[in-house]
Structure 1
Amino acid sequence: MRTFFKIFFASLLALIVFTVIGVFILIGFISSATTSELPVVGTKAVLVLDLSVNFKEQAEEDPFGELISSAEANKPSLFDVVRLIGKAKSDSAVKGIYILASDNANGFSSSEELRKAVLDFKKSGKFVIAYGETMTQKAYYVACAAERIYVHPQGGLEWSGFSSNLFFLKGMLEKLQIEPQIFYAGKFKSATEPLRETKMTEANRLQTSVWLGDLYGAFLKAASVARKIDTAVLHQLANEGDIQTAVDAEKYQLVDGLKYDDEIKDEILKKLKKASGTSINFVTINEYAAATTIDDYAGGGKIAIIYAQGDIVSQEGDEEQVSSDVYKNVIRRARLDNTIKAIVLRVNSPGGSALASDVIWREITLARKEKPVVVSMGDVAASGGYYISCNADAVFANETTLTGSIGVFSIVPNFESFLKNKLGITTDRVRTAPYADMGSGDRPLTATEKRFFQSATDSIYHTFKSRVAEGRKKDIVYIDSIAQGRVWTGARALDAGLVDKIGTLQDAVKYAAKLAKIEDDYRLREYPEKKNFLEKIMGNYKRSIKTNLIKDEIGVEQWQLMQQFKQVKQMVGEPQARMPYFLTIH
């Protein structure tokens, strides 16, 4: 027994010592991170805009990077990037912008906001140079805002037009003997097509041709203005396949020259009036964000910006989703906070749970009775994303925003044949009522049960249209004519009356301030609120490690496909207001 106590107390002492040491080390790290000096922009700085970085709606923070005081650890939001470019316009330390434009990880609407910011920066007279070894069309959309565009001599420029691809799973489900049992309202509601068709329906092909054509038209218009080439000529270059090499891109004046990296650097040095071979003070967007502050009004009134990015879900969800449990409370707090004079809801969501969308819609409706509510739409604000947007005082969208998709569907899978014929599993049951096991998944629905599900889907669709009619002050018959699950671009949604204005998040904030009568006397408050250091450590680390490991192992495209399959799982058994989930644009 004496030996036991000796070992026990020795172990306990060691545990206490190591815990104390660990706490002091952690405090040291935190102290180092919080007391370190801000990065310095320096003189003759060139701001680097790397389009391969996906700028999300809210800033991303890496707690481990913060511990080592790395300026690159934290990634600013899209809104921050736009405002930082605006800040650089009048910052005497920044002499120009260098756009890394090989690829573009941002959506078309996000790219539109970045492009507008660069165009505004050019008004300062400072230089903007874009370069990519091989440049994609989406990268070119932003790059053509630059005064000079270059590609690598052995690289090239993608110039082949746009395409949207859908994966269809009906054949696979038939081979597995899985019956999806789908119920939907809206002839354009194509989210379930991959499960019930082997190719696009004519209605879906029509709507996709229209909105994809609108995006392509915006792309050609931007290139036409920048390069002073007629859009018909640009369109023909793609139709004829004339741009296959970097030489072709230069021949048809889509780029200003073919240069290697060192030649680009020499041109920048000339712009800076520095000798060839000397170093260039390149400052990344991340570094600039850490080194400077964004000018916001410092008045007493606050405008809340609530970011709703991701799938709309009923359960608590994660940071990549719009959870009704979280967002109803966030909106409610902003409504009840008397220091908040207006709310801007930034929506970047393809939709999701119809019930969760209605929960959020209700809070928006209540908030609007107390203070102005303005919606700003990002890359996509469709179906459930439009549901939560429709009752605002004003709705802003970019020209290339995808919105609308007012429709509903439900999926109730039947695995009976799959279980029996593929796995040798059978089921049996005892019921106290005929419909006690309705939708259990191990048997087909009866004709009566199918009527129940279709009736519920139609009822939710009617409610959805009623919400839109009320919010947009339109007749429900008219709303039905532009609904039917159809996807619209922001430009067409404006004509249809689904949105009020074409404009960026900045425009929406300014309009909210105007409605609240605090144009020159407000500051911004962002929601959901940032997590504290420990929450970031416990949450971000685990998620980022898991995500990065899987992505590195299977590749980004396979990762995206896996995420889409997870979305299918989430949709089973709950009415959905969602856009097509297998949507890719090239």
Structure 2
Amino acid sequence: MKSFLKYVLATITGIAVVFVLLFFILVAVISSTVSQMGSSTEANVPNNAVLYVSLNHVISERTAASPWEGIDLPGYGAVKSLGLNDIVARIQAAKEDSRIKGIYFNPSSVNAGMATVKAIREALVDFKKSGKFIIAYSDVYTQKGYYLASVADSIYMNPEGSLDFKGLSSSVTFLKEALDKLGVDMQVVKVGTYKSAVEPFLLNEMSAANREQMTSYLNSTYDAFLANIAEGRKIPADSLRAIADNYLIRNADDAKRYKFIDDKLYKDELLTLMKKRLGVEEKKDIPTISLLDYSTPAKTESATDRVAVLYAYGDIVDGEGSEGSIGGEKLSRELRKLRRDDRVKAVVLRVNSPGGSALASDIIAREVELTKKVKPVVVSMGDYAASGGYYISALADSIFAEKETLTGSIGVFGLIPNMKGLLNNKLGIHMDEVKTGKFADLMTSVDRPLTAEEYTIVQAEVNRVYHTFTSKVSTGRKMTVAAVDSIGQGRVWTGQQAVANGLVDGIGGLQRAINSAAAKAKLKTYRTVEYPAVKDPFASILSTSKEKIKMWVIGEELGEYRAYIEQLRTVTKRSGIQARVPYSLEIK
């Protein structure tokens, strides 16, 4: 009877899940059809309008096609988001749009890495060259939010609001004690003094080498952070540092006293001020359009020559990968297509990756090398282009990064879990096996430690992969292998530091990389085309994995703990030798 009830309940649950998914698919199809019907028309922008910019959504490298776009989901509200490419493009379009008189910027939260934030800031700086205004207002300014707001002509905040300005910090989550309690021993084989991706499984705090590189990275990022705010607010960087070190800004009065804001205003007072600036009657609303809704007609370009921008963001994985990851096979195929496409005269590889599979990284690097023999290949680095992310970049003709980019981390490691303690002592599970050869179960058995001979074999393979990695960097950067090793060893660098040590050619964003690629290809007129082609929204829902659906459903409830769950899932799926950045940095 129990078995019967179990199968009945499982069937009912399955049917319910299917119906829920079918419902969402139906809604998605309808919304997608409606949106596509109006996608060819320009957004209805009123005259004398203000562009409302709020970045309170996850900002990826590129806007992803989503069947949920614009749908009001129960308990979640309207699902809308823009990638960095469209955020920058729309701000640039607004600069030239005579209907847009200025930007109302509300940076309540900014969910992006520092290099991404810097790219948005540069787009806002460029917008101001038009002579149009930028007004920033928020109840609460985070440090990233204020960093962006410092571009504005005027900064206001709620009289009872807060402004966070106390310096940057970054933390690493260590799992050793938890693994010890579970009876799991993580066996590590690595190359690189600074290759500390494995430290969370072995230690309860940072090693001296890891602390050294994290401190160096954070200070370099902080210097650039202060320099940009100093330029925007005309406050000396040393003064900003002292204000942060002593935590002198704790409320709106402090923010005004130290000239971080221009005034304290309630929202109604801000709206009155903006109406006077725009010449709008007090009883009328300010003509406004959100950046999420703003669009302009696609430009008709006569140029046939193309500079391809190929996006590579997320973990580097073997095979095809999925949305938000870099599949070795998939990206290699895209590079081959671009190499053979006579319309494409140069390729810009936009990399935002902490690395991953060493094998997949090598497969991609090979295609970069082959493409470079046919046409120029220039790399533009985002928040991360480290370890495997640097591996796939090293052989390009030129590499550009932001000052805040985290790059380098030239090192590799292998991670083999020994769960004997968990299985035997905690769960009472024992395993036995037979095999045809001495090493038949190498890297597959999780219920025993590696033998000394097995460890030697794995270490030799890790050393071999590291030699391949450093050799390719040596070839691409025209350095000796010894020189690469001296700045390698798994150490991470900021983009600014990487220029100094020869790993990067210059500081700049995507546009500088595009300009460089066009110059190398000797192009006077050309069009920029993004690759891979964006998926049809309906096709994207059909390819959505069940793990992503589950994470989407429970993500809101997990809140800040979602990142830790994702990290654990990533760790359990890793196989083979890894070329991965030492940690996931969350700058606070």
TM-score in same-fold range (> 0.5): yes
Q: Is residue 568 of structure 2 the alignment partner of residue 565 of structure 1?
A: yes
Match for residue 244 of structure 1?
A: 250
Alpha-carbon distance in structure 2 between the residues aligned to 1:63 and 1:541: 14
Question: Judging changes above 3 Å, is the alpha-carbon distance between structure 1 residues 485 and 295 closer, same or farther for their aligned structure 2 residues?
Answer: farther
Alpha-carbon distance change, 422 to 528 in structure 1, aligned in 2, over 3 angstroms: same
Q: What aligned pairs does 1:295-306 form with structure 2 within 5 A after superposition?
A: 295=299, 297-306=301-310
Instruction: Decide whether the 8 Å contact of 2:65 with 2:535 is kept in 1.
Output: no
In terms of mean alpha carbon deviation, does 530-539 or 541-550 score higher? 541-550
Q: Report the equivalent of 1:577.
A: 579
Q: Note the 1:368-379 alignment, pairs <5 A.
A: 368-379=372-383
Question: Residues 481 and 451 from structure 1, CA distance in 2 versus in 1: closer, same or farther, beyond 3 angstroms?
Answer: same
**C-alpha separation in 2, matches of 1:29 and 1:561:** 33
Q: 2: distance between equivalents of 1:168 and 1:157?
A: 30
Q: SS of the residue aligned with 1:286? A: coil
Q: Contact conserved, 1:51 with 1:106, CA < 8 A, in 2?
A: no
Per mean C-alpha deviation after superposition, the further-off stretch among 339-348 and 529-538 is 529-538
8 Å CA contact retained: 1:61, 1:75: no
* Corresponding residue for residue 412 of structure 2: 408
SS in 2 for 1:352: strand
Match of 1:466 among 455, 465, 471: 471
Contact 1:266/1:277 (CA < 8 Å) preserved in 2? no
Q: What is the alpha-carbon distance in structure 1 between the residues aligned to residue 303 and residue 165 of structure 2?
A: 48
1:342 paired to 2:346: yes
Per the TM alignment, residue 389 of structure 1 is displaced from its structure 2 partner at its CA by 0.4
Query: Distance between the aligned counterparts of 2:475 and 2:180, measured in 1?
Result: 42
Q: Give the TM-score normalised by structure 1.
A: 0.91
Counterpart-to-counterpart distance in 1, 2:29 and 2:108 = 41
Once residues 50 and 502 of structure 2 are traced to their aligned partners in structure 1, the CA distance between those partners, rounded to angstroms, is: 42
Give the match's secondary structure for 1:412. strand
Distance 1:294 1:109 in 2: 27
Alignment partner of 1:495 is 2:500? yes
Asked if 2 retains the 8 angstrom alpha-carbon contact of 1:49 and 1:284, the reply is yes
1:432 matched to 2:436? The reply is yes
The answer on whether the counterparts of 2:32 and 2:538 sit within 8 Å (CA) in structure 1 is: no
Q: Does residue 1:119 correspond to 2:125, yes or no?
A: yes
> RMSD of aligned C-alpha atoms?
2.2
Q: Bigger shift: 501-510 or 538-547?
A: 538-547
Deviates more, 1:192-201 or 1:256-265: 256-265
Q: 1:278-316 deviations in whole A, cap 9, x for unaligned?
A: 211221112112xx0365854011121111010000032
Aligned to 2:193: 187
2:515 is matched with which residue? 510
Identical counterparts, % of pairs: 42
TM-score (norm 2): 0.90
Farther-moved stretch of structure 1 (437-446 vs 341-350): 437-446
> 1:54 — aligned with what?
58
- Give the deviation of 1:29 after TM superposition: 6.9
Distance (whole Å) between structure 2 residues aligned to residue 25 and residue 195 of structure 1: 44
Q: CA separation of 1:83/1:296 partners in 2, compared to 1, >3 Å: closer, same or farther?
A: farther
- Give the Cα–Cα distance (whole angstroms) in 2 for the partners of residues 48 and 542 of structure 1: 35
Structure 2: which amino acid aligns with 1:569? T
Deviation of 1:524 after TM superposition, in Å, equals 2.2
Partner of 1:446: 451
1:210 correspondence with 2:216? yes
- Aligned position for 1:351: 355
- The equivalences for 1:99-118 within 5 A come to 99-118=105-124
* 1:523 and 2:527 aligned: yes
Q: How does 1:133-282 map to 2 (within 5 A)?
A: 133-282=139-288
Query: What is the Cα deviation at residue 131 of structure 1?
Result: 1.3
Deviates more, 1:546-555 or 1:374-383: 546-555
Once structures 1 and 2 are overlaid, which stretch shifts more, 360-369 or 263-272?
263-272
> Aligned equivalents of 2:498 and 2:415: distance in 1?
28
Closer, same or farther in 2 for the Cα pair 1:300/1:100, shift >3 Å?
Answer: same
Taking the aligned partners of 2:68 and 2:418, their CA distance within structure 1 comes to 46
What secondary structure is seen at the aligned counterpart in 2 of 1:191?
helix
In the alignment, is the contact (CA less than 8 A) between 1:84 and 1:294 conserved in 2? Answer: no
Query: Contact between 2:375 and 2:521, CA under 8 Å: does it hold in 1?
Result: yes
Q: Which residue, 540, 543, 550 being the options, matches 1:539? A: 543
Equivalent residue pairs, number: 556
**1:267 positional shift:** 1.7
- SS of the equivalent of 1:46 reads strand
Residues 164 and 35 of structure 1, relative CA distance in 2, 3 Å threshold = closer
Offset from partner CA, 1:172-218 (integer Å, 9 cap, x none): 11222211010111101111110111111111111100110111111
In 2, Cα distance between equivalents of 1:120 and 1:532: 32
Please list the CA deviations of residues 457-507 of structure 1 after superposition, one character each: whole Å capped at 9, or x if unmatched.
111111110010000011111111111111111111011111111111011
